[in-house]
Chains A and B, each alone.
Chain A
Amino acid sequence: MEASVAALGECSATILVARIAAGDAAAEQELVRRYSRVVLYVLRRRVGDIDLARDLHQDTFVLVLTRLRAAELREPEALPAFVRQVAMNVATAQDRRTHRRRTDTDTDAIEAIADDAQSALDVVERNECFDLVRRSIDALERPRDRDLLVRYFVDLEDKPSICAALGLSTTHFDRVLHRAKARLRALLGVSTTAEEAAG
Protein backbone atom coordinates (compact mmCIF):
# COMPACT_ATOMS: atom_id res chain seq x y z
CA MET A 1 0.00 0.00 0.00
CA GLU A 2 1.38 3.41 -0.88
CA ALA A 3 1.60 6.14 1.72
CA SER A 4 0.99 9.76 0.82
CA VAL A 5 4.02 12.02 0.43
CA ALA A 6 2.82 14.17 3.31
CA ALA A 7 2.61 11.16 5.62
CA LEU A 8 6.15 10.20 4.72
CA GLY A 9 7.55 13.65 5.46
CA GLU A 10 8.94 12.78 8.86
CA CYS A 11 9.65 9.11 8.36
CA SER A 12 13.08 7.68 9.00
CA ALA A 13 15.57 6.81 6.31
CA THR A 14 15.09 3.15 7.14
CA ILE A 15 11.36 3.28 6.46
CA LEU A 16 11.87 5.33 3.32
CA VAL A 17 14.38 2.85 1.94
CA ALA A 18 12.09 -0.08 2.73
CA ARG A 19 9.11 1.55 1.05
CA ILE A 20 11.07 2.38 -2.08
CA ALA A 21 12.27 -1.20 -2.28
CA ALA A 22 8.64 -2.25 -1.99
CA GLY A 23 7.69 -0.13 -4.99
CA ASP A 24 6.09 2.79 -3.17
CA ALA A 25 6.08 5.73 -5.60
CA ALA A 26 5.16 8.20 -2.84
CA ALA A 27 8.30 7.19 -0.98
CA GLU A 28 10.35 7.92 -4.08
CA GLN A 29 8.80 11.37 -4.27
CA GLU A 30 9.59 11.95 -0.62
CA LEU A 31 13.20 10.92 -1.17
CA VAL A 32 13.56 13.43 -3.99
CA ARG A 33 11.76 16.12 -2.01
CA ARG A 34 13.99 15.54 0.99
CA TYR A 35 17.35 15.63 -0.77
CA SER A 36 16.75 17.53 -4.00
CA ARG A 37 17.80 20.98 -2.83
CA VAL A 38 20.90 19.73 -1.08
CA VAL A 39 22.00 17.58 -4.02
CA LEU A 40 21.53 20.49 -6.40
CA TYR A 41 23.36 22.90 -4.12
CA VAL A 42 26.35 20.64 -3.60
CA LEU A 43 26.56 19.79 -7.29
CA ARG A 44 26.36 23.44 -8.30
CA ARG A 45 29.11 24.22 -5.86
CA ARG A 46 31.25 21.46 -7.33
CA VAL A 47 30.69 22.07 -11.05
CA GLY A 48 30.06 25.84 -10.91
CA ASP A 49 27.27 25.86 -13.44
CA ILE A 50 23.62 25.67 -12.55
CA ASP A 51 22.47 24.10 -15.83
CA LEU A 52 25.09 21.39 -15.66
CA ALA A 53 24.29 20.87 -11.99
CA ARG A 54 20.64 20.31 -12.90
CA ASP A 55 21.60 17.60 -15.38
CA LEU A 56 23.84 15.88 -12.84
CA HIS A 57 21.14 16.25 -10.19
CA GLN A 58 18.75 14.36 -12.41
CA ASP A 59 21.26 11.62 -13.07
CA THR A 60 22.11 11.35 -9.38
CA PHE A 61 18.51 10.58 -8.50
CA VAL A 62 18.16 8.11 -11.33
CA LEU A 63 21.14 6.22 -9.94
CA VAL A 64 19.96 6.47 -6.35
CA LEU A 65 16.46 5.27 -7.14
CA THR A 66 17.71 2.46 -9.32
CA ARG A 67 19.80 1.12 -6.45
CA LEU A 68 17.05 1.59 -3.88
CA ARG A 69 14.40 -0.06 -6.04
CA ALA A 70 16.72 -3.05 -6.27
CA ALA A 71 17.02 -3.07 -2.47
CA GLU A 72 20.78 -2.86 -2.72
CA LEU A 73 21.36 -0.50 0.19
CA ARG A 74 22.17 -2.90 3.00
CA GLU A 75 22.36 -0.21 5.67
CA PRO A 76 19.24 1.92 5.19
CA GLU A 77 20.20 4.30 7.98
CA ALA A 78 23.14 5.29 5.79
CA LEU A 79 20.76 6.74 3.19
CA PRO A 80 21.99 10.37 3.54
CA ALA A 81 25.61 9.28 3.09
CA PHE A 82 24.61 7.08 0.19
CA VAL A 83 22.83 9.90 -1.66
CA ARG A 84 25.81 12.17 -1.06
CA GLN A 85 28.28 9.59 -2.31
CA VAL A 86 26.32 9.06 -5.52
CA ALA A 87 26.25 12.81 -6.11
CA MET A 88 29.98 13.07 -5.42
CA ASN A 89 30.77 10.23 -7.81
CA VAL A 90 28.66 11.84 -10.51
CA ALA A 91 30.44 15.15 -9.93
CA THR A 92 33.85 13.49 -9.92
CA ALA A 93 33.20 11.98 -13.32
CA GLN A 94 32.07 15.35 -14.62
CA ASP A 95 35.15 17.07 -13.16
CA ARG A 96 37.34 14.62 -15.00
CA ARG A 97 35.63 15.32 -18.27
CA THR A 98 35.95 19.07 -17.81
CA HIS A 99 39.62 18.74 -16.91
CA ARG A 100 40.29 16.64 -19.98
CA ARG A 101 38.67 19.22 -22.21
CA ARG A 102 40.76 21.98 -20.72
CA THR A 103 44.01 20.16 -21.32
CA ASP A 104 43.07 19.69 -24.94
CA THR A 105 43.03 23.43 -25.57
CA ASP A 106 44.93 26.61 -24.87
CA THR A 107 43.35 27.14 -21.49
CA ASP A 108 45.25 30.29 -20.55
CA ALA A 109 44.07 32.14 -23.61
CA ILE A 110 40.48 31.00 -23.25
CA GLU A 111 40.30 31.81 -19.56
CA ALA A 112 41.77 35.25 -20.14
CA ILE A 113 39.05 36.01 -22.67
CA ALA A 114 36.41 34.62 -20.33
CA ASP A 115 37.72 36.77 -17.47
CA ASP A 116 37.52 39.91 -19.58
CA ALA A 117 33.98 39.15 -20.62
CA GLN A 118 33.07 38.30 -17.06
CA SER A 119 34.33 41.48 -15.53
CA ALA A 120 31.92 43.73 -17.42
CA LEU A 121 29.00 41.58 -16.43
CA ASP A 122 30.16 41.45 -12.85
CA VAL A 123 29.87 45.21 -12.44
CA VAL A 124 26.17 45.04 -13.22
CA GLU A 125 25.57 41.91 -11.18
CA ARG A 126 27.37 43.18 -8.12
CA ASN A 127 25.12 46.22 -8.03
CA GLU A 128 22.00 44.10 -8.28
CA CYS A 129 23.10 41.58 -5.69
CA PHE A 130 23.94 44.51 -3.43
CA ASP A 131 20.33 45.70 -3.59
CA LEU A 132 19.08 42.38 -2.32
CA VAL A 133 21.21 42.30 0.80
CA ARG A 134 21.18 46.06 1.39
CA ARG A 135 17.71 45.85 2.88
CA SER A 136 19.02 43.56 5.54
CA ILE A 137 22.23 45.41 6.25
CA ASP A 138 20.84 48.94 6.16
CA ALA A 139 18.27 48.00 8.77
CA LEU A 140 21.11 47.83 11.26
CA GLU A 141 21.05 51.12 13.12
CA ARG A 142 24.64 51.19 14.28
CA PRO A 143 27.41 51.76 11.71
CA ARG A 144 29.60 49.65 13.97
CA ASP A 145 27.31 46.66 13.42
CA ARG A 146 27.49 47.09 9.67
CA ASP A 147 31.26 47.31 9.93
CA LEU A 148 31.24 44.12 11.93
CA LEU A 149 29.43 42.24 9.18
CA VAL A 150 31.70 43.55 6.44
CA ARG A 151 34.78 42.59 8.40
CA TYR A 152 33.39 39.11 9.02
CA PHE A 153 31.84 38.23 5.65
CA VAL A 154 34.00 40.20 3.22
CA ASP A 155 37.35 40.78 4.89
CA LEU A 156 37.07 37.32 6.46
CA GLU A 157 38.52 38.51 9.74
CA ASP A 158 38.24 36.26 12.76
CA LYS A 159 35.66 36.93 15.40
CA PRO A 160 38.14 37.68 18.23
CA SER A 161 40.06 40.23 16.18
CA ILE A 162 36.85 41.99 15.11
CA CYS A 163 35.62 42.15 18.68
CA ALA A 164 38.99 43.53 19.81
CA ALA A 165 39.10 46.14 17.05
CA LEU A 166 35.54 47.33 17.63
CA GLY A 167 35.53 46.99 21.40
CA LEU A 168 32.69 44.46 21.36
CA SER A 169 31.90 41.41 23.39
CA THR A 170 31.47 38.08 21.61
CA THR A 171 27.88 38.10 22.85
CA HIS A 172 27.23 41.32 21.00
CA PHE A 173 28.93 39.91 17.93
CA ASP A 174 26.72 36.84 17.96
CA ARG A 175 23.60 38.95 18.44
CA VAL A 176 24.37 41.18 15.47
CA LEU A 177 25.19 38.21 13.29
CA HIS A 178 22.02 36.37 14.17
CA ARG A 179 19.83 39.41 13.67
CA ALA A 180 21.32 40.01 10.25
CA LYS A 181 20.86 36.36 9.28
CA ALA A 182 17.27 36.34 10.47
CA ARG A 183 16.46 39.50 8.55
CA LEU A 184 18.03 38.21 5.40
CA ARG A 185 16.34 34.84 5.67
CA ALA A 186 13.01 36.59 6.09
CA LEU A 187 13.72 38.53 2.91
CA LEU A 188 14.60 35.34 1.12
CA GLY A 189 11.47 33.65 2.40
CA VAL A 190 13.18 30.85 4.26
CA SER A 191 12.35 29.69 7.74
CA THR A 192 13.86 31.36 10.77
CA THR A 193 15.06 29.48 13.81
CA ALA A 194 13.72 30.33 17.23
CA GLU A 195 17.13 31.66 18.20
CA GLU A 196 17.39 33.98 15.23
CA ALA A 197 13.84 35.17 15.60
CA ALA A 198 14.65 36.04 19.19
CA GLY A 199 17.68 37.98 17.92
Chain B
Amino acid sequence: MSAMDTPAKRHGLSDDDLRDYVTGRANATLVESVERALFETPELLDEIMAFEAMHRGLAARPRSGTTRVRRPFSWASATGYARAASVVLALGGAAMAGAWLDDLVGRSGPAAPVGNLPIVVLSPLRGAESAVVVEARGGAFAVEIAIAPPFASRYAIEFRLGETTTLLIPDLAPLGEGTLTAYVPGGTLASGRYVLVVSSAEQGMRAEQVRFDVTLR
Protein backbone atom coordinates (compact mmCIF):
# COMPACT_ATOMS: atom_id res chain seq x y z
CA MET B 1 0.00 0.00 0.00
CA SER B 2 1.50 3.34 -0.96
CA ALA B 3 1.22 6.58 0.95
CA MET B 4 -0.83 7.93 -1.94
CA ASP B 5 -3.54 5.34 -1.49
CA THR B 6 -6.89 6.28 -0.09
CA PRO B 7 -9.50 3.75 1.04
CA ALA B 8 -11.57 4.62 -2.02
CA LYS B 9 -8.70 4.09 -4.43
CA ARG B 10 -7.83 0.77 -2.83
CA HIS B 11 -11.32 -0.36 -3.76
CA GLY B 12 -11.17 1.11 -7.25
CA LEU B 13 -13.68 3.85 -6.44
CA SER B 14 -13.26 7.21 -8.11
CA ASP B 15 -14.24 10.68 -6.92
CA ASP B 16 -17.16 10.50 -9.33
CA ASP B 17 -18.28 7.22 -7.75
CA LEU B 18 -18.30 8.73 -4.24
CA ARG B 19 -20.04 11.88 -5.43
CA ASP B 20 -22.71 9.89 -7.22
CA TYR B 21 -23.20 7.73 -4.12
CA VAL B 22 -23.71 10.64 -1.74
CA THR B 23 -25.95 12.53 -4.17
CA GLY B 24 -28.17 9.53 -4.82
CA ARG B 25 -27.21 9.25 -8.49
CA ALA B 26 -25.46 5.92 -8.14
CA ASN B 27 -27.13 2.91 -9.69
CA ALA B 28 -27.73 -0.24 -7.66
CA THR B 29 -24.45 -1.79 -8.77
CA LEU B 30 -22.42 1.19 -7.65
CA VAL B 31 -24.31 1.46 -4.35
CA GLU B 32 -23.49 -2.16 -3.64
CA SER B 33 -19.83 -1.66 -4.60
CA VAL B 34 -19.47 1.37 -2.35
CA GLU B 35 -21.19 -0.29 0.58
CA ARG B 36 -19.22 -3.51 0.24
CA ALA B 37 -16.08 -1.38 0.28
CA LEU B 38 -17.38 0.48 3.35
CA PHE B 39 -17.74 -2.73 5.30
CA GLU B 40 -14.39 -4.06 4.11
CA THR B 41 -12.66 -0.79 4.95
CA PRO B 42 -14.69 1.24 7.45
CA GLU B 43 -12.16 4.11 7.18
CA LEU B 44 -13.74 4.84 3.80
CA LEU B 45 -16.62 6.41 5.69
CA ASP B 46 -14.48 9.45 6.52
CA GLU B 47 -13.97 10.06 2.82
CA ILE B 48 -17.64 9.65 2.05
CA MET B 49 -18.63 11.97 4.86
CA ALA B 50 -16.34 14.66 3.47
CA PHE B 51 -18.04 14.34 0.08
CA GLU B 52 -21.46 14.43 1.66
CA ALA B 53 -20.66 17.51 3.72
CA MET B 54 -19.23 19.21 0.65
CA HIS B 55 -22.30 18.45 -1.40
CA ARG B 56 -24.75 19.61 1.24
CA GLY B 57 -22.76 22.64 2.28
CA LEU B 58 -22.19 23.88 -1.24
CA ALA B 59 -25.81 23.32 -2.18
CA ALA B 60 -26.79 25.54 0.73
CA ARG B 61 -24.29 28.23 -0.20
CA PRO B 62 -25.58 31.37 -1.92
CA ARG B 63 -24.69 31.36 -5.58
CA SER B 64 -22.60 34.07 -7.15
CA GLY B 65 -21.30 34.76 -10.62
CA THR B 66 -22.88 33.27 -13.69
CA THR B 67 -26.16 31.47 -13.36
CA ARG B 68 -26.39 27.90 -14.50
CA VAL B 69 -29.25 25.50 -14.57
CA ARG B 70 -29.18 23.61 -11.32
CA ARG B 71 -30.28 20.03 -11.17
CA PRO B 72 -32.99 19.19 -8.68
CA PHE B 73 -31.77 18.52 -5.19
CA SER B 74 -33.96 17.24 -2.41
CA TRP B 75 -33.31 18.47 1.08
CA ALA B 76 -35.84 16.15 2.56
CA SER B 77 -33.21 13.56 3.36
CA ALA B 78 -30.79 16.17 4.65
CA THR B 79 -32.92 17.24 7.57
CA GLY B 80 -31.13 15.11 10.11
CA TYR B 81 -27.73 16.41 9.11
CA ALA B 82 -28.74 20.01 9.02
CA ARG B 83 -30.58 19.88 12.31
CA ALA B 84 -27.55 18.37 13.98
CA ALA B 85 -25.35 20.96 12.30
CA SER B 86 -27.55 23.75 13.54
CA VAL B 87 -27.01 22.69 17.13
CA VAL B 88 -23.28 22.58 16.64
CA LEU B 89 -23.13 25.96 14.98
CA ALA B 90 -25.27 27.55 17.62
CA LEU B 91 -22.58 26.58 20.11
CA GLY B 92 -19.93 27.95 17.77
CA GLY B 93 -16.29 27.04 17.31
CA ALA B 94 -14.55 24.78 14.88
CA ALA B 95 -13.75 22.36 17.67
CA MET B 96 -17.41 21.57 17.94
CA ALA B 97 -17.92 21.09 14.22
CA GLY B 98 -17.18 17.41 14.30
CA ALA B 99 -19.94 16.70 16.79
CA TRP B 100 -22.73 16.54 14.24
CA LEU B 101 -20.73 14.04 12.29
CA ASP B 102 -20.23 12.03 15.45
CA ASP B 103 -23.91 12.15 16.12
CA LEU B 104 -24.64 10.95 12.64
CA VAL B 105 -22.37 7.97 12.53
CA GLY B 106 -21.92 7.17 16.20
CA ARG B 107 -18.22 7.99 16.39
CA SER B 108 -18.52 8.72 20.09
CA GLY B 109 -18.77 5.02 20.69
CA PRO B 110 -21.71 2.81 20.24
CA ALA B 111 -23.71 1.62 23.13
CA ALA B 112 -23.05 -2.02 23.69
CA PRO B 113 -25.86 -3.97 22.09
CA VAL B 114 -28.44 -5.09 24.52
CA GLY B 115 -29.63 -8.59 23.80
CA ASN B 116 -33.30 -7.82 24.20
CA LEU B 117 -34.40 -8.61 20.67
CA PRO B 118 -36.39 -11.85 20.74
CA ILE B 119 -34.98 -14.23 18.18
CA VAL B 120 -37.15 -17.14 17.19
CA VAL B 121 -35.33 -20.08 15.67
CA LEU B 122 -37.43 -22.12 13.26
CA SER B 123 -36.64 -25.30 11.44
CA PRO B 124 -38.78 -27.16 8.90
CA LEU B 125 -39.15 -30.09 11.30
CA ARG B 126 -40.33 -27.93 14.12
CA GLY B 127 -42.74 -26.15 11.81
CA ALA B 128 -44.24 -29.46 10.83
CA GLU B 129 -44.62 -30.64 14.40
CA SER B 130 -46.11 -27.81 16.36
CA ALA B 131 -46.94 -24.18 16.62
CA VAL B 132 -44.27 -21.78 17.76
CA VAL B 133 -45.25 -19.10 20.24
CA VAL B 134 -43.47 -15.73 20.06
CA GLU B 135 -43.69 -13.45 23.06
CA ALA B 136 -43.04 -10.25 21.14
CA ARG B 137 -45.56 -8.04 22.97
CA GLY B 138 -45.78 -5.75 19.96
CA GLY B 139 -42.04 -5.14 19.80
CA ALA B 140 -39.51 -6.06 17.17
CA PHE B 141 -38.35 -9.62 16.88
CA ALA B 142 -36.37 -11.74 14.50
CA VAL B 143 -36.86 -15.16 13.07
CA GLU B 144 -34.04 -17.41 12.04
CA ILE B 145 -35.00 -20.16 9.67
CA ALA B 146 -32.76 -23.00 8.64
CA ILE B 147 -33.29 -23.62 4.94
CA ALA B 148 -32.05 -27.15 4.47
CA PRO B 149 -31.22 -27.74 1.79
CA PRO B 150 -31.14 -24.21 0.40
CA PHE B 151 -33.30 -23.95 -2.70
CA ALA B 152 -32.64 -20.39 -3.80
CA SER B 153 -30.31 -17.45 -3.33
CA ARG B 154 -33.11 -15.03 -2.47
CA TYR B 155 -36.24 -15.65 -0.49
CA ALA B 156 -39.42 -13.94 0.53
CA ILE B 157 -41.10 -14.35 3.89
CA GLU B 158 -44.83 -13.90 4.38
CA PHE B 159 -46.83 -13.77 7.57
CA ARG B 160 -50.37 -14.80 6.68
CA LEU B 161 -53.34 -14.29 8.92
CA GLY B 162 -56.17 -16.33 7.44
CA GLU B 163 -56.27 -15.50 3.75
CA THR B 164 -54.50 -12.17 4.17
CA THR B 165 -50.79 -11.57 3.80
CA THR B 166 -50.15 -9.25 6.72
CA LEU B 167 -46.43 -8.84 6.20
CA LEU B 168 -44.32 -9.59 3.16
CA ILE B 169 -40.56 -9.22 3.32
CA PRO B 170 -39.11 -9.80 -0.15
CA ASP B 171 -35.60 -10.22 -1.42
CA LEU B 172 -33.94 -11.65 1.67
CA ALA B 173 -30.53 -13.20 1.26
CA PRO B 174 -29.62 -16.17 3.45
CA LEU B 175 -26.76 -15.62 5.83
CA GLY B 176 -23.98 -18.12 6.07
CA GLU B 177 -24.94 -21.70 5.45
CA GLY B 178 -28.54 -21.45 4.35
CA THR B 179 -29.90 -19.67 7.40
CA LEU B 180 -32.43 -16.98 6.69
CA THR B 181 -32.68 -14.19 9.22
CA ALA B 182 -35.73 -11.98 8.98
CA TYR B 183 -36.29 -8.90 11.07
CA VAL B 184 -39.84 -7.95 11.98
CA PRO B 185 -40.08 -4.32 13.10
CA GLY B 186 -42.02 -3.51 16.25
CA GLY B 187 -45.70 -2.76 15.77
CA THR B 188 -45.86 -4.59 12.45
CA LEU B 189 -47.91 -7.58 13.47
CA ALA B 190 -50.81 -7.79 15.87
CA SER B 191 -51.26 -10.73 18.18
CA GLY B 192 -52.65 -13.77 16.43
CA ARG B 193 -51.92 -17.10 14.86
CA TYR B 194 -50.01 -16.75 11.60
CA VAL B 195 -48.79 -19.02 8.91
CA LEU B 196 -45.24 -18.07 8.05
CA VAL B 197 -44.34 -18.98 4.48
CA VAL B 198 -40.82 -18.94 3.10
CA SER B 199 -40.73 -19.02 -0.67
CA SER B 200 -38.69 -18.16 -3.67
CA ALA B 201 -39.77 -17.58 -7.22
CA GLU B 202 -36.31 -18.37 -8.56
CA GLN B 203 -37.20 -21.95 -9.33
CA GLY B 204 -39.80 -20.91 -11.86
CA MET B 205 -43.53 -20.42 -11.76
CA ARG B 206 -44.07 -22.98 -9.06
CA ALA B 207 -42.42 -21.50 -6.01
CA GLU B 208 -41.07 -23.78 -3.34
CA GLN B 209 -42.37 -23.09 0.10
CA VAL B 210 -41.59 -23.83 3.69
CA ARG B 211 -44.45 -23.15 6.13
CA PHE B 212 -44.51 -22.54 9.85
CA ASP B 213 -47.30 -22.06 12.33
CA VAL B 214 -46.46 -19.03 14.46
CA THR B 215 -48.56 -17.56 17.24
CA LEU B 216 -47.71 -14.03 18.33
CA ARG B 217 -48.54 -12.73 21.77
Contacts and interface: CB of A to CB of B under 8 A. Distances in A.
A155 B68 contact: yes
Interface in B59-90: 59-63, 65, 68-71, 73, 75-86, 88-89
Contacts of A73: 175-176
Interface string B24-35: 010000000001
B106 A194 contact: no
Interface string B105-133: 11101111111110100000000000000
B94 interface: yes
B58 A150 contact: yes
A125 B75 contact: yes
A89 B182 contact: yes
B201 interface: no
Given A35-B39, A83-B39, A153 B19 contact: yes
A142 interface: no
A3 to B, nearest CB: 17
Looking at chain A's contact residues, the main secondary structure is: helix
Interface in A57-80: 57-59, 61-63, 65-67, 72-75, 80
Interface string A70-110: 00111100001111111011101110110010000000000
A32 interface: yes
A181 B140 CA distance: 40
Given A66-B119, A89-B183, A188-B101, A33 B83 contact: no
A166 B60 CA distance: 23
Interface in B1-44: 3-6, 15-16, 19, 23, 25, 35-36, 38-40, 42-43
Nearest first, the 8 A-B pairs at minimum CB distance are A133-B57, A189-B98, A125-B82, A126-B60, A80-B39, A36-B110, A61-B113, A130-B60
Interface of B: 3-6, 15-16, 19, 23, 25, 35-36, 38-40, 42-43, 45-51, 53-63, 65, 68-71, 73, 75-86, 88-89, 94-95, 97-98, 100-101, 103-107, 109-117, 119, 140, 142, 144, 167-173, 175-177, 179, 181-185, 187-188
Interface of A: 28-29, 32-38, 40-42, 44, 48-50, 54-59, 61-63, 65-67, 72-75, 80-86, 88-90, 92-94, 96-97, 100, 115, 118, 121-122, 124-137, 143, 147, 149-156, 158-159, 174, 177, 180-181, 184-185, 187-191, 193-196
